Amino acid sequence: MLTRAANKRLSYIILVVPTLTLFLLFVILPIIYSFFLGLTDWSGYGAFRFIGLRNFQDLFSDRVFYIAFRNNIYFILASTFGQIPIGFFIAYLLHRKLVAGRVFFESMFFLPMVISTIVVAILWSNIFSPQIGALNVFIGRLLGQKNYVLPWMDNLGAAIFPVCFVLIWKYAGFYMLIYLSALQKLPHEMIEAATIDGARESQIFFRIIIPVLWTTLQTTIVLSISGSMRAFDLVFAMTGGGPAHSTELLATYMYNKTFEVYRYGYGSAISTMIVVISVLLIGSSIWLTGIRARGERTGS
C-alpha cells in the first residue's frame, strides 16, 4: 500500500510524463540536434564532420539567402502594415456598430482562415494564372481588351507581391477576431460618459481605445513576426520559390537545400538562422512597443 504522498507523486508522473516525453523528444531534441547539424557538412549519410561556422560564412555570401531573408521581411511588413490595420479597422467598425450585419461580416472575413493554405495557394495561383486567370480576364474586361495579361507577372523583383497579397487575404480576418475580442474588454461606461460629454469619435478613439488596446497591438505584432518566419506552405504551393528563387523564403530555401540537394548541414544552418532571426525580431519588437507603453504610463 502506497502512502498518500507517494500515491500523489506517482499520479503526477503518470499525468505529466507522457506529454513531456513526447514534447522533449519531438520538439526540443530536434531543435538542439539542428543547431549541432548546422556545424557539420553532412550530406545525408556517413559520419558527421565538424566544419565550425563555415556554413554560416557561406550563408552570408549566399545571394539567395539574402533574397529569402528579404522576402521574409516583406511578409512581416505585409502582416504588420497590411493585416493588422485592416483587421483592426474592420473590428473597430463592427464593434462600435458603425455598420450593421456584424455576424455576417465577421464570419465571412474569417472564412479564409479555415481553408488550408495549400488550397488558398492553388486557388490564387489559378486566379493570377495567364491561361485561365480570373484576374486577367476581369481587368481585360474593364479595359476592353481581350487576352489581357498583367504586365508585372514576369517581373522577378515583383514576383513576391502577389504572394504578399494572398497572405493578407488569408490572415486579415484572424487579426480582426483578435481585435474584436480585445475590444470587448473596453471600459464601456467610460466611452458612454465621454460621448455624453460631447467627445468626438476621433477623441474616443485616440484617448480611450488606443491606450487600452496597446498590449493587444504588441501581441499581434509578435504574432505577425513569428507567423511570417514560419511561413512555408503558401510559397511552396504557389510559386515553389521561383521563378529563379525570387519568391524564396528562409523556410523554403532550407527545404530546397536539405531535401532537394541534400546539404543537410547547410540546411540546418538556415534553420538555426530562422530561430535566431525570429528571436531577435520578436525581442526587438517587444522592446520597441514597450518603450511606447512605458512612455504612456509616465504621461510623456
Footprint (CB under 8 A) of another protein, residues 127-166: 127, 131-134, 137-138, 141
Number of neighbours of residue 224 by Cβ within 10 angstroms: 25
Residue 205 interacts with another protein (CB under 8 A): yes or no: no
Pick one of 71, 83, 117, 256: the residue that binds another protein (CB under 8 A): 117
Nearest to 171 by CA among 105, 103, 89, 87: 87
Rounded least distance, CB 110 to another protein, Å: 7
Q: Which of 64, 113, 149, 199 touches another protein by CB under 8 A?
A: 113
For 228-246, give one letter per residue: b (16+ CB within 10 A) or e.
Answer: bbebeebbbbbbebeeebb
Contact between 109 and another protein by CB under 8 A: the answer reads: yes
Q: Rule CB under 8 A: say whether 16 interacts with another protein.
A: yes
- Binds another protein by CB under 8 A, chosen from 237, 241, 245, 256: 237
Nearest to 155 by CA among 246, 64, 250: 246
**Residue entry with cell 537545400:** 257
Q: Tell me the C-alpha distance between 171 and 143, whole Å.
A: 31
Does 67 contact another protein by CB under 8 A?
Answer: no
**Binding flag, residue 261, another protein (CB under 8 A):** no
What residues does 40 pair with on adjacent strands? 50
Question: Can residue 3 be called a binding residue for another protein (CB under 8 A)?
Answer: no
Count, residues near another protein per rule CB under 8 A? 86
Binding mask 21-40 toward another protein (x if CB under 8 A, else -) reads -xxxxxxxxxx-xx--x---
In the bound state with another protein, the residue whose beta carbon lies nearer, of 154 and 295, is 154
Pick between residue 219 and residue 300 the one whose CB is nearest to another protein. Answer: 219
Residue 286 within binding range of another protein, rule CB under 8 A: no
Determine the Cα–Cα distance for residues 53 and 240; give it in Å rounded to an integer. Answer: 29
Cα distances from 105 to residues 84, 136, 186, 254, in angstroms, run 17, 27, 21, 38
